Amino acid sequence: MGRHTLHPLDYVVVLAYLAIVVSFGTSFARKQKSTKEYYKGSGKIPAWAIGMSILATLISSITFLAYPGEGFAMNWIRLVQGLVVPLALIGMVWFIVPLYREVIGLSAYEYFEERFGFLARLYSSLAFVLTHFSKMGTVLFLLSLALSNMMGVNTYTVIWVVGVSVIVYTLLGGIEAVIWLDVTQGFMLIGGGLLTIALILLKIPGGAVSVFTCAAENGKIGFGPYDLDFHRLTFVVMALNGIFYAVQKYGTDQTIVQRYLVAESDKKAIRAALMGVFLCVPVWTLFMFIGTCLFCFYNSGKAVLPEGIRADAVFPHFIVTQLPAGVTGVVLAALVAAALSSLDSDLNCLSAIGVKDYFDRFRPKASERTRLLVGKLIVAISGLASTVVATFYVKAGNEGVLGIIFTLYAIFSGGIAGLFLLGLASPRTNKEGAYIGMAACVLFTGWAVLTSTPIGFGENKRLLLDLGRYNYSHHEYMLGVYSHLVLFVVGYLASFLFKRPPAPKTLTLYGWRERLARREAQGK
């Protein structure tokens, strides 16, 4: 049956890793003398390191725990989104990177103000702040819940130890500390996954051949169902979701856009973006395959799972009961790394948004020292607030957390990719049309969420708003497609109701070729 408690060596490994991370981050403290250095670095970070940082930013403890759970319980349908992302990115990275590096100073949402005015910037930056703030609390909660169950430590203690650690090194180290720690954490994440795969295969008679045979017989390797049905989870639903996820993440998300600005040149920024996404696909696949291997391992009769165990708890159970002492600590450290690499990026970028989009607007003549101090204060406040949110999630439980996250993402991130595409698509679109599109998107999203979100338990469960046959009935993932389409289509058509001069070509798709040619001529 294996061990059910951790060896003291495992505790030492995890705590030592946290100590190393904090000390490494603080070593960058003396280099942070301006907001440019704090948010954009020295400009000398190599493209491969930025690419690894993008990978580490996109991979969190949610991926580390959720993907093996999905691979154990289902087939690989949720991997479809990740497989589509590189295809979408290849088509747009060539003009998105030069666009941002030329148009904005720091915040991705400066582009939206340049294109559609202040309200568009406020709408898009608030969407980022609210969605990522809620995400941080979730990542910290899920990590702490898993660690507390495996290590036998109080959940609240884990939340505060991890939360304070990430606050300290992010606050003191700035973006360069974040990126170089992300590089280390990315390698740890990959190494932890590969080590786990190897140990599982060694425990299964017949190794990889037996796993693929078992998976094929039980329908564990596949991406179906493939029918055109938007009411349930299908290949088409995941593929469409992946396209808009790619546009939103790589076209409007500050955690990614800020990496474009850190790079020394357009070419290196493009190389980093492509490297990051092409590394994500095999990593997502790796952790999905861990779930498949776990299914075959526990169905081989070599070990028995506790009765009623949830799918997402199988991987943590395997780590504690089947891995040797020391190795368990390494895998747990990799789990911590997955969370920290996402949390530190969110904190630094939330701080950048707070300074550039809000503080600078109200205090445009503030000194550089004041701006840097405010930025660090925002890191501390955001980190502490997300830590408090994670403690509330402990009381809400898994079901409550997922419901909260889905609602927040649906309401506050709806339509951002549509707004971005609206700005790029045509010089004819204008701010009045965009504002009407934003209003239509908010109304649509509100209707969809209210008429599809149940509250209560058992027989008392009911919808927030029940309109009968007029309720939103499609799969929740399609909301992340429809909201963008609603904003884009309504915004585009409404723009024809208002007469305005065409937008500058440099802010649209039509100017990207000229921009690239000019950059190449300047040798950038």
List pLDDT tens digits, range 268-303: 999 999 998 889 889 999 999 999 999 999 988 888
Residues 454-467 have pLDDT tens digits of 776 666 778 888 89
431 and 391 both lie in a single domain: no
Task: Tell me 324's DSSP state.
Answer: P
Most confident of the ranges 55-64, 78-87, 165-174, 480-489: 480-489
- The amino acid sitting at 133 is F
The span from the CA of 24 to the CA of 226, in Å, is: 48
Q: Which two tokens stand for residue 239?
A: 């593929």
The DSSP symbol for 415 reads T
The phi-psi region of residue 80 (left if phi > 0; otherwise alpha if psi is between -120 and 50; otherwise beta) is: alpha
The better pLDDT of the pair 453, 331 is held by 331
Domain that holds residue 233: 8-22+43-395
**Number of domains observed in the structure of the chain:** 2
Q: Higher model confidence: residue 502 or residue 114?
A: 114
Do 367 and 506 have their domain in common? no
- Same domain membership, residue 376 and residue 434: no
Nearest by Cα to 518 from 266, 185, 239 = 266
* 64 within domain boundaries: yes
192 shares a domain with 137: yes
pTM of the model: 0.87
- Say what percent of the chain tops pLDDT 90: 28
- Mean pLDDT for 356-378 is 90
pLDDT digits over 406-419, tens only? Answer: 455 556 667 899 99
304 located within any domain = yes
Output the pLDDT for position 493.
96
Confidence grade of residue 233 (pLDDT, cut at 50, 70, 90)? confident
Residue 268, in any domain of the structure: yes
Kindly give the residue spans of alpha helices, DSSP state H, lying in 413-505: 416-425, 431-450, 476-495
pLDDT tens for residues 245-259? Answer: 888 888 898 989 999
pLDDT at residue 4, as a whole number: 56
Q: What is the CATH number of the domain that holds 229?
A: 1.20.1730.10
Do 340 and 25 form a contact (C-beta atoms < 8 A)? Answer: no
Residue 140 token pair: 């910290």
Q: How confident is the model at residue 26 (pLDDT cuts 50, 70, 90)?
A: confident
For residue 184, list its beta bridge partners: none
In a domain, 33, yes or no: no
Confidence of residue 105 (pLDDT cuts 50, 70, 90): confident
Do 224 and 98 belong to one domain? yes
Say yes or no: 430 and 373 in one domain: no
State the Cα angle at 26 between 22 and 29, rounded to 5°.
155
Fill in the amino acid letter for 13: V
- Taking 60 as the threshold, does the pLDDT of residue 106 lie above it? yes
Distance of CA 225 to the CA centre of its chain: 26
Question: What is the pLDDT, as a whole number, of residue 408?
Answer: 58
